Amino acid sequence: MQTHQAKRVEIIIEAVMERRLTEVLVEAGVTGFTVLPVSGGSGRSGQWTREGQVGRSGMVAVVCLIRPDRLEGLLQAVFRVVNRHIGVVSVTDCEVLRAERF
Amino acid sequence: MQTHQAKRVEIIIEAVMERRLTEVLVEAGVTGFTVLPVSGGSGRSGQWTREGQVGRSGMVAVVCLIRPDRLEGLLQAVFRVVNRHIGVVSVTDCEVLRAERF
Amino acid sequence: MQTHQAKRVEIIIEAVMERRLTEVLVEAGVTGFTVLPVSGGSGRSGQWTREGQVGRSGMVAVVCLIRPDRLEGLLQAVFRVVNRHIGVVSVTDCEVLRAERF
Amino acid sequence: MTDILTLAGQNLISPIILSFALGLLAAMARSDLSVPEAIAKGMSIYLLFAIGFKGGASLAEHGVDARLVFALIAGVLLSAAIPFVAFAMLRVMTGLSTLDAAAVAAHYGSISIVTFVAATSVLTSQGIAYEGYMVAVAAAMEAPAILSALWLISRQGAGRGMDAGLWREILLNGSIVLLLGAFVIGAATGQEGLAEIDAFITAPFKGVLCLFLLDMGLVAGRGLRSARGVLTPGVLGFGVLMPVVGSLMGMAAALALGLSPGGAAILMVLSASASYIAVPAAMRVALPEANPSIYLTLALGVTFPFNLTLGIPIYLALATAVTGG
Amino acid sequence: MTDILTLAGQNLISPIILSFALGLLAAMARSDLSVPEAIAKGMSIYLLFAIGFKGGASLAEHGVDARLVFALIAGVLLSAAIPFVAFAMLRVMTGLSTLDAAAVAAHYGSISIVTFVAATSVLTSQGIAYEGYMVAVAAAMEAPAILSALWLISRQGAGRGMDAGLWREILLNGSIVLLLGAFVIGAATGQEGLAEIDAFITAPFKGVLCLFLLDMGLVAGRGLRSARGVLTPGVLGFGVLMPVVGSLMGMAAALALGLSPGGAAILMVLSASASYIAVPAAMRVALPEANPSIYLTLALGVTFPFNLTLGIPIYLALATAVTGG
Amino acid sequence: MTDILTLAGQNLISPIILSFALGLLAAMARSDLSVPEAIAKGMSIYLLFAIGFKGGASLAEHGVDARLVFALIAGVLLSAAIPFVAFAMLRVMTGLSTLDAAAVAAHYGSISIVTFVAATSVLTSQGIAYEGYMVAVAAAMEAPAILSALWLISRQGAGRGMDAGLWREILLNGSIVLLLGAFVIGAATGQEGLAEIDAFITAPFKGVLCLFLLDMGLVAGRGLRSARGVLTPGVLGFGVLMPVVGSLMGMAAALALGLSPGGAAILMVLSASASYIAVPAAMRVALPEANPSIYLTLALGVTFPFNLTLGIPIYLALATAVTGG
Ligand SMILES: Nc1ncnc2c1ncn2[C@@H]1O[C@H](COP(=O)(O)O)[C@@H](O)[C@H]1O
Ligand SMILES: Nc1ncnc2c1ncn2[C@@H]1O[C@H](COP(=O)(O)O)[C@@H](O)[C@H]1O
Ligand SMILES: Nc1ncnc2c1ncn2[C@@H]1O[C@H](COP(=O)(O)O)[C@@H](O)[C@H]1O
Ligand code: NA
Ligand code: NA
Ligand code: NA
């Protein structure tokens, strides 16, 4: 099958920042993203779990497939949101089907 | 540790198509896959969230680690299911432990 | 944006082993990890779903971003836990923002 | 007429409707109020189980009526026929494509179980009885409309057509199985069984319905906010006119069957209501090219609130009038 | 005998059993009916809290009985002893490996809290009293069987052996902690505390149990569907014979303790029942090489339905007969 | 004094407090007992809806009081003023940075709705009435404290400042919207509406509160276990002293308003309690550099249990004494 080069950006960020992050993604011209729930984790600010939590606590994972030439713009936009907040951003090379979608 | 080359295929597809997709994966000789819940996202067909939904709405993420030589067959099988439906497919190079499992 | 080489290790393991795995990760000097829920899957030991389950059944996905030079130690630590248990481990090259966090 | 207005007025300030309105407003104002998916599903399981069980227990008390079979047949026919009327109206009133029109039509032939539940709770508070087997009729009306819509499309050479898997998914859909299963359990264990679990399925029923409608308001509000574009005046008009047309078809059937006033009102409500759970899922599989935001917004954002607020009192008044109840 | 049959017959058409049957059938027919994981867990928390609290409140009312301590010891001994019997029977009746046999044996020494709850609800509807501290006995029987099974395996030089973490996981298992904790709260606050939350833990109890059993039927049905291969006639026979054998061991202990007919029936039910929550998790950690589909299918797909339908009436009839109740 | 102790003693062995203690102990002992997130959220929706609705229905019964408006204003002022007092105390008593101190201060100006609910349930069991509109006062007190804290920080040139999005998030926060919405629904449908859903929102209320407090105990225990480091004696002392200081400010306001003894006790409880849902989320957005484990541990692990056990009886005794009730 014909595949196309793309980048897979995975942003693990506090749930309270989700809306701000996705707004920035849309502004940066990202055509799509997917949000996955996160049930727990650990980092410099300690270990946490979502069990029994009532508020909008914890993190979410936002996955975003984009054309390589859009990466720089996306990262800059993301950085503005993530900068002062806890969370991690990783970028992986990937191939996608149906490139017209990205 | 000894690792082995493999491919990580990630298919984000409508929840209603999950059963059809996994049936096709099994037919294509895939030995295993993992389904992750998705809580929301955005694409050409708009933004959505799973909050408060009663029906089998929204998307799921299916992750499938396979031997590189099986990739082509897998993608063709997947494409038949995804083709008319919304959803995205990405493929990443990876290394796995315990190659006998794939 | 300046990015840094890193490895993305994804461990899909039985939920009952989650605590043991994360303890080993911490011992191996991993500075952070994220746990994602898994809703179902299939492998050599059959197909399963989390729907309606009461016990701590099913699998979880643990994602761990680390500096490349820490990979070997991490894999060895992980292998001790995963060895006798079902589950899969994959490693992907990636780039991260804010390398000081890893 | 005054009666309808009084009833509609009373109906409007019931906790049930106001809970829906609260959800709708909160979502429109972009509050982050939300009901977890698992809780929404849990409440819908509770409501289906309770309504099915009570229907079955009532059947056990009043005995099986010859009309049960006829009512089931009438339900199947109504569900199969309404999509044709809806399709024709959509082609006239709106600019929707054949595909989108057929998909929308399927929803109006099928039923909304919460509208049904809300109607039964209005009947109960008014002390109006209805045939217990209407629950089974509701279940029978879920699926036939889907076939009509697919037939409408296949005539045009489009659509995927049914595979065995889709058949099973539609007929063994979770909500049908639970509703019918609870109905059978209620019928089998009768008033004795009902006495055992009454405190669970009757006393808190209306309260749970309030929270469920709060959630439906939130979902409908979110849908309306993001789908304002698709609601042309024609489409909106259809969403209000179609339930009335459907209810009249239901009324004709109710008269032919000789149902009680309460039963007639229920059959009208079923005919008027539009599915937003089972049918959307089937459409995503069978007609993936149809735009889901059109049918979801119409069914949940327009027709459901219309039925909840104005529709139910109107149908009840009509049913009482024509059956001479 | 007629009594047993009548009771079994009555038992079979109770909403509780029929709900389980509905779930089982729906899953077998591959309906997509499902209960969200969070709701299933929520219901199990409710049931454990309610049953524990009521046991404690009843203890507070009737005072602490010297037999409480003996009953606890008897429970621990039963739980530790039954795996040896089960292991021997498995080696004779089935071709299971030592590892699989030991893992299965652990499940039968431990208990199923829902079977216990179902039995108490049968007793309550028959107006038969039982010792409130049986809840504590149930908690005491959860863990010892695991140790017996691990000992059986370590004798063969296999198995991982216990680490401190596993010890804590088994003894501070969520369901044990909640059951015992609620028992203590019930005992401390007594009838006054019960009066405060009675409307929550007593009135809706049976209804919640119905929905919980619906879910268990779904899970059991899914398991049976995918694990048909492991159910050889020998394994199946064990799944039906073992609970009866276990119940007889429980009966002997009940006679020795001088329990009431209700208490004896409960101890028999506990001995007859097989764990499908705490023990499977412990086995996955301690004996990962044992095949989970064998023990899960046996405990949940064979023994649980057997106890629910035929077992409980049989044990109750036997208990009444031998204790002269 | 004896009265306070008796009441505190009674209070301590209520099912509600013991459930919290059970959760706390289970988490400290590292049991894997846990309540699913969806269930915890579902219970909080239930509690907010029920308490809001009952407040509204009581308002509808007793008529709108001129004091309602004054009480709302007093609530806003209290919420805005308390952070300044808290900030000053933190600077004196602890070594916290300005940022952390401001973040903690915001929590103490705002309120904990579960503490409020627990207080109402103590009042109800003692047969002490309180003004129904206190629910609205509770809602009014949620947000102002956040602004005070942000102002404290911005004075130092730090902090992000408010954007429009944050404003909306704070004011249309899910729990405020639900509480006020249910209050309005209760006021609109009055005793008639209450009668319809009473069996849902009144009878099981205390039982649900027990399970909710079990969950809060689990969350608090987990927090305490992982945040032992931040609890210096000064911080701990603040967590116990501050609620008392807050309650006295509330008492002054209650006297000025001329509230009933019950109403005065509630206003004291609101002033004494610290938010652990709405404010932490706002702080993560506005002051991400502040350490969440400090404010969460203080609010949920220290002040909440203090208020629940000793605080409520003390405030009630004081309120009764000063209002001459
Ligand atoms: N190296 C890492 N790999 C994966 N997830 C991480 C990593 N570091 C941090 N995280 C996630 O980000 C959250 C906040 O991290 P931190 O800012 O280090 O406290 C953690 O709780 C994890 O969920
Ligand atoms: N570029 C993307 N990256 C990640 N997920 C995407 C992307 N595009 C679409 N999706 C996911 O696929 C769903 C359907 O996409 P679409 O077909 O574009 O509406 C979206 O709601 C997202 O969950
Ligand atoms: N090739 C694979 N790709 C992704 N996930 C897998 C794969 N193989 C196994 N898994 C996951 O690991 C679980 C156990 O696998 P197994 O040990 O093969 O039964 C499965 O249920 C899947 O969730
Ligand atoms: Na209809
Ligand atoms: Na047993
Ligand atoms: Na306060």
List the pLDDT tens digit at each of the 325 positions of chain D.
567 777 777 778 899 999 999 999 999 999 999 999 999 999 999 999 999 999 999 999 888 878 899 999 999 999 999 999 999 999 999 999 999 999 999 999 999 999 999 999 999 989 999 999 999 999 999 999 999 999 998 887 665 566 778 888 889 999 999 999 999 999 999 999 999 999 999 999 999 999 999 999 999 999 999 887 888 999 999 999 999 999 999 999 999 999 999 999 999 999 999 998 889 999 999 999 999 999 999 999 999 999 999 999 999 999 999 987 6
The whole-angstrom separation of Cα B44 and Cα B87 is 10
Mean pLDDT taken over chain E: 92
B57 to chain D, any CB pair closer than 8 A? The answer is yes
Taking an 8 Å cut-off on Cβ atoms, the answer to whether F215 and A86 are in contact is no
B80 to chain D, any CB pair closer than 8 A? The answer is no
A38 CA to centre of ligand 2 in angstroms: 19
C21 to chain E, any CB pair closer than 8 A? The answer is no
Residue E304 clears pLDDT 80, i.e. is over it: yes
Closest to D94 (Cα-Cα) out of D298, D319, D323: D298
User: Where does D63-173 have alpha helices with state H?
Assistant: 66-93, 98-109, 113-126, 134-140, 144-154, 164-171
The whole-angstrom separation of Cα D272 and Cα D277 is 16
Asked if residue D307 lies in contact with residue D276, where contact means CB atoms within 8 angstroms, the answer is: no
CA A65 to chain CA centroid, Å, is 10
Taking an 8 Å cut-off on Cβ atoms, the answer to whether D197 and E206 are in contact is yes
Closest to A7 (Cα-Cα) out of B65, C1, B47: C1
Q: Which residues of chain E are within 8 Å of residue D204 when distances are taken between CB atoms? A: 204
Taking an 8 Å cut-off on Cβ atoms, the answer to whether B37 and A36 are in contact is yes
What integer pLDDT is reported at residue E154 of this predicted model?
85
Taking an 8 Å cut-off on Cβ atoms, the answer to whether E39 and D41 are in contact is yes
Task: Determine the number of helices (DSSP H) and then strands (DSSP E) in chain C.
Answer: 2, 6
Q: For residues F60-87, b (16+ Cβ closer than 10 Å) or e, as one string?
A: beeeeeebbeebbebbbebbbbbbbbbb
| Ligand 2 atom closest to Cα of residue A63 | 4
Angle at A25 between CA A22 and CA A29, to 5 degrees: 140
In this predicted structure, which of C21-35, C48-62, E30-44 has the lowest mean pLDDT? C48-62
Taking an 8 Å cut-off on Cβ atoms, the answer to whether E165 and C19 are in contact is yes
| ipTM (interface predicted TM) | 0.95
Residue B99 clears pLDDT 90, i.e. is over it: no
What integer pLDDT is reported at residue E324 of this predicted model?
77
Taking an 8 Å cut-off on Cβ atoms, the answer to whether D34 and B16 are in contact is no
Residue of B30, B91, B101 to test ligand 3 pocket, by largest number of atoms within 8 Å of CB: B101
What integer pLDDT is reported at residue A86 of this predicted model?
87
Taking an 8 Å cut-off on Cβ atoms, the answer to whether E206 and D193 are in contact is no
**3+ Cβ–Cβ pairs closer than 8 Å linking F and B:** no
Q: Which residues of chain D are within 8 Å of residue F185 when distances are taken between CB atoms? A: 15, 18-19, 22
Q: List ligand 2's pocket residues with C-beta within 6 A.
A: A 31-34, 63-65, 101-102; B 12, 41-45, 48, 59, 86-88
What residue in B sits closest to C38 (Cα-Cα)?
B36
| Ligand 1 atom closest to Cα of residue A42 | 21
A94 to chain B, any CB pair closer than 8 A? The answer is yes
Asked if residue D40 lies in contact with residue D208, where contact means CB atoms within 8 angstroms, the answer is: no
- Cα–Cα distance list, F302 to E14, F117, F229, F240, F261 (Å): 48, 18, 14, 7, 26
Residue of C4, C11, C22, C34 to test ligand 1 pocket, by largest number of atoms within 8 Å of CB: C34
B89 to chain D, any CB pair closer than 8 A? The answer is no
Residue B93 clears pLDDT 90, i.e. is over it: yes
The whole-angstrom separation of Cα C41 and Cα F303 is 44
Give mean pLDDT, residues C15-31. 91
C98 to chain A, any CB pair closer than 8 A? The answer is yes
D109 CA to centre of ligand 4 in angstroms: 4
Q: List ligand 3's pocket residues with C-beta within 6 A.
A: B 31-34, 63-65, 101-102; C 12, 41-45, 48, 59, 86-88
* Residue E299, both tokens: 């405990």
Q: Which residue has the CA at smallest separation from atom 2 of ligand 3? A: B32
What integer pLDDT is reported at residue E2 of this predicted model?
64
Q: Which residue has the CA at smallest separation from atom 5 of ligand 2? A: A33
| Ligand 3 atom closest to Cα of residue B102 | 1
CB pairs under 8 A between E and F: 88
Q: List ligand 1's pocket residues with C-beta within 6 A.
A: A 12, 41-45, 48, 59, 86-88; C 31-34, 63-65, 101-102
- Tell me the torsion sign for CA atoms D303, D309, D314, D319: positive
Q: Which residue has the CA at smallest separation from atom 8 of ligand 2? A: A32
Pick from E160, E219, E285: CB nearest C16: E285
The whole-angstrom separation of Cα D54 and Cα D67 is 19
Chunked mean pLDDT (size 10), chain F, 325 residues: 70 91 96 95 96 94 86 97 98 94 97 96 92 94 94 75 80 94 96 95 96 96 87 95 98 96 97 94 91 93 96 95 83
What residue in A sits closest to F284 (Cα-Cα)?
A16
Q: Which residue has the CA at smallest separation from atom 16 of ligand 3? A: C43
Question: DSSP secondary structure string, F182-224?
Answer: HHHHHHHHHHHHHHHHHHHHTTTHHHHHHHHHHHHHHHHHHHH
Taking an 8 Å cut-off on Cβ atoms, the answer to whether A97 and B79 are in contact is yes
